[in-house]
Amino acid sequence: MAHFAIFYDYDPTLTETMDEVRPLHRAYLTGLKDRGLNVASGPLGDGAPGALLIFEAESADEVAALLDEDPFMKAGVILERTIRSWDPVISRY
């Protein structure tokens, strides 16, 4: 399994849509955590309109396919998604 860092850039004009869809988005990501795929995820600090997700999966294509089903993606609130391979040299686990 490989690690991936995913960056979401949100559309700041769609905050009402984000508020409506957020419970479904978080439930979806929690389900991926329960399957061992979502290592950690959450919004960026300082009011930045985006999030960081860390996934463990076989490939970037697998991560992309999983995140295509994210309710935030389906609702169109994500302007850009970047998936990068990540090598955690120092880790708590």
pLDDT tens, residue by residue, 11-32:
999 999 999 999 999 999 999 9
Q: Which residues have a Cβ under 8 Å from the Cβ of 85 and sit 6 or more positions away?
A: 2, 3, 4, 60
In Å, how far from its chain's centre is CA 66? 10
What value does the mean pLDDT of the chain take?
A: 96
pTM: 0.94
In the predicted structure, residue 33 carries a pLDDT above the cut 90: yes
- Retrieve residue 46's tokens: 């300082």
Query: Could you report the per-residue pLDDT of 61-72, keeping only the tens digit for each?
Result: 999 999 999 999
pLDDT at 91: 84
Beta strand 38-43 pairing with 50-57:
antiparallel
Q: Using an 8 Å Cβ cutoff, are 86 and 4 in contact?
A: yes
Cα separation, 22 vs 41, whole angstroms:
13
- Retrieve residue 41's tokens: 């995820």
